[in-house]
């Protein structure tokens, strides 16, 4: 089974601020096909779906965001916080939901596939059925 991975991001400090570089080279955990930002409002949710093939890499930009994942009936909550210098790699066939915990939260999502409507599993019941098949 593929696992969710927490990846430590390198950061560099100066008195003028902090720099967190992300290089999309052969060491990056997935081959990049697209990326997008999600701007969230406090206590609102996004996601509520899984992907059949797509991997997603969640990088917090601003605010705190709770990432809820479910796979094989195991729920896991991870708080994304840009001050912690960590990103989360979520493989395919993992149910994901985001809850925005603070005002003006932003998360960058990097994917290994282009947008494909048929890759989405948007019903949790369908997700459970799909898990049993695989």
Q: What CATH number corresponds to the domain at position 55? A: 2.60.120.10
Q: What's the total number of domains in the chain?
A: 1
pLDDT class of 131 with cuts at 50, 70, 90? confident
d(CA 79, CA 101): 9
- Sign of the dihedral defined by the CA atoms of residues 54, 60, 62, 68, in that order: positive
Sole residue written with tokens 């994917």: 111
Domain that holds residue 123: 5-133
Measured CA to CA, the distance from residue 85 to residue 65 in angstroms comes to: 14
pLDDT given for residue 57 in this prediction: 96
CA distance 100 to 1: 28
Range 27-34 average pLDDT:
91
Please state the pTM of the whole predicted model. Answer: 0.92
The reported pLDDT for the residue numbered 43 is: 96
CA dist 48 and 45 (Å) reads 8
């Amino acid at each position: 089974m593929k696992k969710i991975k927490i990846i430590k991001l390198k950061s560099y400090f100066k008195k003028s601020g902090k720099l967190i570089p992300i290089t999309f080279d052969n060491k990056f955990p997935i081959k990049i096909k697209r990326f997008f930002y999600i701007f969230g409002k406090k206590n609102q949710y996004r996601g509520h779906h899984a992907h059949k093939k797509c991997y997603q890499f969640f990088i917090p930009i601003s605010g705190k965001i709770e990432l809820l994942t479910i796979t094989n009936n195991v729920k896991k909550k991870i708080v994304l916080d840009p001050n912690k210098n960590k990103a989360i790699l979520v493989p395919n066939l993992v149910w994901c939901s985001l809850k925005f915990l603070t005002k003006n939260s932003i998360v960058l999502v990097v994917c290994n596939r282009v947008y494909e409507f048929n890759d989405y599993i948007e019903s949790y019941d369908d997700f459970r059925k799909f898990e049993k098949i695989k």
